Amino acid sequence: MTAPRRTARDDRRRHLSQNFLQQDRAERLVEAAGLRSGELVLEVGAGSGAITSALARRDVDVIALELDPVWARKLAGAVRSGGVSRIRVVQADVLTFTLPARPYRVVGNLPFGATTAILRRLLDDPRTPLQRADLVVQLEVAKKRAAIPPQTLLGTAWAPWWEFHLGDRIPAAAFKPTPQVDGCHLVVRRRAPPLLPPAIADAYGEFVRAWWTRQHGVLSQ
């Protein structure tokens, strides 16, 4: 029997680690985020628009980022046809996108293959005005990040400024295509007050890396 021919869409899903969240789960994620009227929300990995659609029913301003140009174009068309003026769809990579200068929230279903890189983009510099992130990540990643005390170099480096909490477990069947692992709602909140001044983040990060290397010999993230 001949194997099914892979399409360009299949290739993009593999390359960009795309697993889209079902609408009901997207609604639950946005509801749990507890967004307040007038907030700015950066959506990471907008994809087919399930989370975007849920955000459109809240009184918030949204920048919806999608790396895949095909999905970004489709979503932008859907937003225009729906007359939703408070959502701006941007075809961009969050790793290089200029983050907002005003206080903002992040909501997103992160590409599983890029989770650590995206978390670093959002959290490495606590001087940015990010207030909270509600993210869908792999279950084991969520457990690792929410461990108390932190069990990794990055967790230790982020701890003075960010708190991590586990939300709902999301079964693999709630994604399309279905991944091999379950997901989880990971909540990241800015500490108020912080345990250390944000201005010393770079120096603290260097100290943590040096200490971690002496203690463990490897730079586990």
pLDDT in tens, 49-72: 999 999 999 999 999 999 999 999
Residue 10 confidence (pLDDT) above 80: no
Domains, the chain: 8-216 (3.40.50.150)
Question: How many CB atoms within 10 Å of residue 127?
Answer: 11
Alpha helices in the chain (DSSP H): 8-15, 23-33, 50-56, 69-81, 115-123, 139-145, 153-158, 201-216
Q: How confident is the model at residue 17 (pLDDT cuts 50, 70, 90)?
A: low
- Output phi, psi for 66, to 5 deg: -145, 125
Spacing of C-alpha 146 from chain mean position: 15
Q: What is the DSSP letter of 36?
A: -
Q: How confident is the model at residue 18 (pLDDT cuts 50, 70, 90)?
A: confident
Question: How many CB atoms within 10 Å of residue 18?
Answer: 24
Q: How confident is the model at residue 15 (pLDDT cuts 50, 70, 90)?
A: very low
Residue 73 confidence (pLDDT) above 60: yes
